[in-house]
Structure 1
């Protein structure tokens, strides 16, 4: 495929592996990050440095955001020297961040009104390994023409790209993803505790349960890190807490009961209160004496 020209804003746990992947495939990247060390890592991978989000827009077709919070997205787009000050059609913005559904929809409408450019909300699942191998699961919302414009990018970074509807639909799907993920983290921590207290080989559970109804990616990938007490971050606990807070707020607005999510949310609030915000999401096992 022809080389893509990309402006990439947010070179963190998810962003840096994707920048490396895209550069390895011959795509051109202008990278921007507020942390000098992260920007330096992107430059080492072959990207050119952009001093501001607006500078990252120059000469590219697609602008990617991969940022930790709704506030960070708003600042990168609409703040001083934000991308909205420089974007022009037919440029398209792709937001891989997990942000508020309502804010995401409002940002897309504001960008379109201000610049005439489209916004695709495209939150992802799979973590840094999938970001670096091009095997992410991407759920997307946006105008049909904008979805089509970013398909070549999605073919490079994802194994599954599913347009879910208009602006905000991808973020709704990600809220549901995080509801399932957050609750499952807590369940796996409890399973580990019971297995260890019962005296069986807790590390063998993924093998033992393979192919059964309890099998799944989190049992196969996250549970072994939990059992090994390997809490080096592949996804920060603080980020999952942020997401669960958004899930709870979103569901509350729909008057949809989510009692299990409420329990997982309280556990992550406690985990962060105890000072474990920068550990992996699997560190929830610490609350069970691990």
Structure 2
């Protein structure tokens, strides 16, 4: 079996890495906060002191980090995965949400070093990661994808090839644009319903029974109803992804007024200290009242 290195062991990465260990892969892990590696080491993973060390012992390097700067640091930084003696034809699979521009740049850098690159961001949350049911949208050479389907099939149930490098990230940004807008729309529907003296449960039952029901609403309805905003996907991360969408729209000279309005709400929510809570905590802006 392939030897796998995994960089980034947050809410999603830790669950994905655990599935790989349970499937029998030899796994080496690295995380900036070393304490997050301990549970996986207890399951049999090996600890790397830095991304360079990890890459030198891996056939495939999976990254699940928060943003462009973090990804560039773990790949082309001084102790990055590109810097050492990684194996020829090693494959990098980036599963985070990163700008298309940075993805294309790193794919070119990887090629210059003799490596393969797939952008394969995930569409699901922690429950799907734990169950091995993550959808992936993938950009990169189709032959490289085929060679790594065993790994992706261990982690997910639907792998959709989008085209060349960057196209997986493009699809993910479009997806999260729709998700961010939807969460704000659900919040506004709940706020208006409560002004009509409908209970929150009644509003949610209505939405779940009608044409706007979706996997997203089904996943977030308990959080809306119970007010439990333990993060599955943090509000700050949603705001970051909406920024990626807004920057892309500006480059295309594309007017997206709904995105612009919703992005301001997420910026406001983050400014009010909600960034570390789940993205569905956007509803708290409406609970607090006032002019938004």
TM-score range normalised by the length of the shorter chain? over 0.9
Q: CA deviation at 1:228?
A: 1.3
Q: Deviations for 1:200-246, whole angstroms, at most 9, x for unmatched residues?
A: 23224454444532110121111221221111111111111111111
Is the partner of 1:76 in helix, strand or coil?
helix
Is the partner of 1:83 in helix, strand or coil?
coil
Is the partner of 1:244 in helix, strand or coil?
helix
Question: Root-mean-square deviation (CA), in Å?
Answer: 1.4
Q: CA deviation at 1:198?
A: 2.0
Task: Provide the rounded CA distance (Å) in 2 between the counterparts of 1:127 and 1:255.
Answer: 32
TM-score, normalised by the number of residues in structure 1 = 0.95
TM-score, normalised by the number of residues in structure 2 = 0.94
- More displaced stretch, 198-207 vs 176-185: 198-207
Task: Provide the rounded CA distance (Å) in 2 between the counterparts of 1:25 and 1:144.
Answer: 24
Contact 1:125 1:137 (C-alpha < 8 Å) held by counterparts: yes
Q: Which residue of 1 aligns with 2:71?
A: 73
Counting only pairs closer than 5 Å after superposition, residues 1-290 of structure 1 correspond to structure 2 as: 3-86=1-84, 87-113=86-112, 115-210=113-208, 212-289=210-287
Q: CA deviation at 1:264?
A: 1.3
Task: Provide the rounded CA distance (Å) in 2 between the counterparts of 1:31 and 1:242.
Answer: 25
Count of residue pairs brought into register by the alignment: 287
Q: CA deviation at 1:13?
A: 0.9
Is the partner of 1:64 in helix, strand or coil?
strand
Q: CA deviation at 1:21?
A: 1.5
Is the partner of 1:132 in helix, strand or coil?
helix
Contact 2:235 2:276 (C-alpha < 8 Å) held by counterparts: yes
Is the partner of 2:11 in helix, strand or coil?
coil
Mark the runs of 5 or more structure 1 residues left unpaired by the alignment: none
Mark the runs of 5 or more structure 2 residues left unpaired by the alignment: none
